[in-house]
Structure 1
Amino acid sequence: MRHLFFFLATVLITFATSLSAQSYQAALADLEIPDPMGNRNLKGLIWYPTEATEPASPDFESEVWVSTNVVRNAKPAGGTFPLVVLSHGMFGNSLNQAWLAGAMAKQGYVIAAIDHPGTSTWSRDPDQRRELWQRPKDISRLIDFALTGGSLPAEVNPDRIFMAGHSLGGFTAAALAGARFDPARIDRFCRETPGELVCGIFSDWQIARTPEDRSKMQADLSDPRIRAFAVFDLGGTQSFSPDSLHKISRPMLIFGAPIMNSGLTLDIESRALVQALPATNTAYVEPDTLSHFDFLGQCKPGGFEFLAKEAPGDEIICTNGGAQRAAQHRMIIDKVINFFAKS
């Protein structure tokens, strides 16, 4: 009888585990969030779980990037799902982490990504770029929209909202977690180390150069609805006050990229962020072969050569961008999903 009890218990546990690990197909739809003032309309994409398998088509067409199959505008799977909001890097776009979004949709997540006006591939207006405080507000607006009934194809759980950000998107994520911009600190840092990448960018973009801009950059831009964060090789750590970083109480998964081919210095960025955050709710991952551009898509064979011809200098983003990057993606996907599931 005792053996029968343990057998039945094992069957029930296995059945429950299989339900919680249910997989879906990834659906994809366009996303538009109008600004009532007309100044900062947001566009992007949303991936979500579906049980439909046809008609499948590539999520995008590209000479450089490997695409994945999705079912466009499919009927969503039944139920309520966690929401992950994505923030791209400098002059990136909502497709940069499509590889992550599609994989997470198949595991029962809704993923929403927008193109940040002023700092996206499609929008580089200097005035919008200068208003860097708008990036976290874009994400809060995205969450507002997602929680409005019927606005998204799939229903999301308001208690299970997460965020992932790459590079400048990691800076955006830190601000939403509670990091506060400290203009005096970044000014001092850049006087002492003027050659650092972030100093050149903030100078070129005229970040926090007027009293009004400094006040807006210093404001509390956090969003308490976000439960946990994944930060992919961020830039801008030295612009945050150490006290505000130490007070962040929500779980943070930080990825540092030791293959430093982007101009970011790991010791003053990801490693410094980890040192400033509370150890009890911070996890750090720094694989030996991870590079800043591994958080972009997998490159097609010939992608490196195509970029070298069409956009000389940009081909660096496809260095080791094939099978090695695909393996990095699998690692990142697993760690992010496991981290969010436990948060």
Structure 2
Amino acid sequence: MKNIAVTMALLGAASSVMADPAGLRMMEIDMPHHGSQAGISIWYPTGGGGDVKVVAENPVFYGVDAAIDADVKNGTHPIVMFSHGMGGTTRAQAWLASGLAARGAIVVSVNHPNSTWGDFDMSKGVNHWTRVADLSVALDRLLADPAFETHVDRSRIMAAGFSYGGWTALSMGGITGNHAGIVATCTAHLDEMAACDTLLCEGVNMQGIDANVWNASYADARITHVTAIDPGFVWGLTAPDVAGLVPNLHMIGFGGPLDRMSATNFDDSGLTALLPNAKVTRFDPAFHFTAMPLCKPAAAKILEEEDDDPVCTDPAGTDRAAVHSEIISIIAEELDL
């Protein structure tokens, strides 16, 4: 069955290459809770026109085609509000946004202030409630935009995200944090759980954050679906913390017993057991950074020379393109596309 799924995913990827590129509009919008602006990207099914360009490309990653400022396709379309990981950007999952737009969704992604590449301050970026507010403000803007307001299906609005963006999506969909639980987990697993040493250091001081603020609900009542891709901060939760989560939930995890990132392991953390009705997909072989864009031939060498994370070194046997295509299909099917 898995081989059939991968074959269909590859066929879907080939079909998307031949299709017209998705539309893309980029803009800066005010984020009053930050006292600054943030860049947002809106991907959408195109109704024609636009200037076709390759976007989100650099010496490491391949980009994707986009029809800049194209017309919006007639009809109404579901929305995906997408949140990138800590230190990421809207470009990091352009493959996902463009793929979903080609299937018929409007995808809005935000460069979260204080937690993007080039604008990174962990002491502020860890404040997950501001990331949810970023998405809610962007959704407000989309729903009021004359170019999009008549093309939105308000009965299908998904929050989705990768890594810390996966937690952002869960929070926007109704999960609440458990400050005591995550601090206790990080304290107990300081040496082996990614980023815990940084989170508990004096400069970030997650343990000093007001627990009432951390644990509050930041649910946006407009959200109807959630897809969390290898989400972070999934430890230390209890049944009351997940009670308000929307029922249309899909969890996606990367890796097997030997290479799964502990900080995002929603199985070992106990979260899966708290969500018996959630749909769950696990990709193995794969690892956390399999969700990053397709890498160019020289990418691994460039990253090694820059002493950067090995984001292009998937476990043996991983087909990153097939994984991407399958994730696009999973989300599209959740939205009945």
Q: Percent identity over the alignment?
A: 25
Equivalent positions of 1:136-285 (< 5 A) are 136-150=132-146, 152=148, 155-195=151-191, 196-204=193-201, 205-210=204-209, 213-259=210-256, 263-265=261-263, 267=265, 272-277=270-275, 279-280=276-277, 282-285=278-281
Residue 22 of structure 2 aligns to a residue whose secondary structure is: strand
Tell whether the 8 Å contact from 2:159 to 2:173 is kept in structure 1 after alignment.
Answer: no
- Measured in 2, the distance between the counterparts of 1:46 and 1:153 equals 13
Tell whether the 8 Å contact from 2:174 to 2:242 is kept in structure 1 after alignment.
Answer: yes
Q: Residue type matched to 2:44 in 1?
A: Y
Structure (1/2) with the larger strand percentage: 2
Residue 101 of structure 1 aligns to a residue whose secondary structure is: helix
How far 1:155 sits from its partner (Å)?
2.8
- Measured in 2, the distance between the counterparts of 1:227 and 1:163 equals 8
Aligned pairs, how many? Answer: 314
- Quick check: 1:298 aligned with 2:294? yes
TM-score in terms of structure 2 length = 0.84
Tell whether the 8 Å contact from 1:233 to 1:270 is kept in structure 2 after alignment.
Answer: no
- Quick check: 1:307 aligned with 2:303? yes
Which range is displaced more, 262-271 or 251-260?
262-271
The higher radius of gyration belongs to: 1
- Measured in 2, the distance between the counterparts of 1:220 and 1:320 equals 36
Deviations 1:70-112 (CA, angstroms, capped at 9, x unpaired): 1111122122211111100110011111001111111111111
Residue 147 of structure 1 aligns to a residue whose secondary structure is: helix
Residue 120 of structure 2 aligns to a residue whose secondary structure is: coil
TM-score in terms of structure 1 length = 0.83
Cα distance change of structure 1 residues 55 and 239 upon mapping to structure 2, 3 Å threshold: same
- Correspondence for 2:110 among 114, 118, 134: 114
Cα distance change of structure 1 residues 26 and 296 upon mapping to structure 2, 3 Å threshold: same
Which range is displaced more, 124-133 or 230-239?
124-133
Cα distance change of structure 1 residues 37 and 274 upon mapping to structure 2, 3 Å threshold: closer
Deviations 1:280-330 (CA, angstroms, capped at 9, x unpaired): 3x1011122121111111111111112222x2232x100139982111111
Partner of 1:341: 336
Residue 231 of structure 1 aligns to a residue whose secondary structure is: strand
- Correspondence for 2:83 among 63, 75, 87: 87
Q: Residue type matched to 2:262 in 1?
A: L
Residue 290 of structure 1 aligns to a residue whose secondary structure is: coil
Partner of 2:13: none
Residue 189 of structure 1 aligns to a residue whose secondary structure is: helix
Tell whether the 8 Å contact from 1:237 to 1:269 is kept in structure 2 after alignment.
Answer: no
- Quick check: 1:318 aligned with 2:315? no
Q: Residue type matched to 1:231 in 2?
A: A
Structure 1: segments with no counterpart, 5+ residues: 1-22
- Quick check: 1:43 aligned with 2:42? no
Partner of 2:65: 69
Residue 225 of structure 1 aligns to a residue whose secondary structure is: coil
Cα distance change of structure 1 residues 29 and 149 upon mapping to structure 2, 3 Å threshold: closer
Tell whether the 8 Å contact from 1:165 to 1:172 is kept in structure 2 after alignment.
Answer: yes
Which range is displaced more, 198-207 or 228-237?
198-207
- Measured in 2, the distance between the counterparts of 1:113 and 1:296 equals 15
- Measured in 2, the distance between the counterparts of 1:58 and 1:106 equals 15
Structure (1/2) with the larger helix percentage: 1
